[in-house]
Amino acid sequence: MIWWDGLSVDRSMRDFLRFTQDLIHLRRRYPALCGEGIRVPQVHNYDRIIVVHRWLEGEGRDLLVVASLNETTLDGYPVDLPWPGRWQEVFNSDLYDHFPNPGWLAMAARYLPMTLPANNTPIYTARIRIPANGALVFARE
């Protein structure tokens, strides 16, 4: 909840307002976040990570949402991508921790094609930095 009267005196309220505004903008810019296409390709209970693939049928503007409930930042964490190609980070919740967070570093995912499993389905993996208790959104270009 935003404490409107506190925006002028409480930096965390200003940061939270900016975070909320950017989330609304993200939802409007990427209709796949509201579409019916949803798949959960990865859930790791121990690491407390969930990866959600969102898309709009026939649009080709896929999104990958990576959410962490882990208390620590995870570096080089392998995340399976649904498609090869260029995926760009379009949202990183770590930016809003004392906006702009001086320790925040925008990362472009790296793509590592892996060997084909038995069912001959290619798997592409990005090794990314996942902020503690944070969320990342990647858009396929």
- Backbone angle region of 112, left / alpha / beta, with phi > 0 → left and psi within -120 to 50 → alpha: beta
The predicted-structure confidence for 26-75, as pLDDT tens digits, reads as follows 999 999 999 899 999 999 999 999 999 999 988 778 999 999 999 999 98
In the predicted model, is pLDDT for residue 80 greater than 90? no
Structure tokens at 30: 């990427």
Q: What is the pLDDT of residue 120?
A: 59
- Is the peptide bond preceding residue 78 cis, with omega within 30 degrees of 0? no
In sequence order, what DSSP letters do the residues of 82-124 get, joined into one string?
SS-S-EEEEEEGGGGTTSSPTT----PPP-EE----TT----E
**127-139 average pLDDT score:** 90
pTM of the model: 0.80
Superfamily in which the 4-140 domain is placed by CATH: Golgi alpha-mannosidase II (2.60.40.1180)
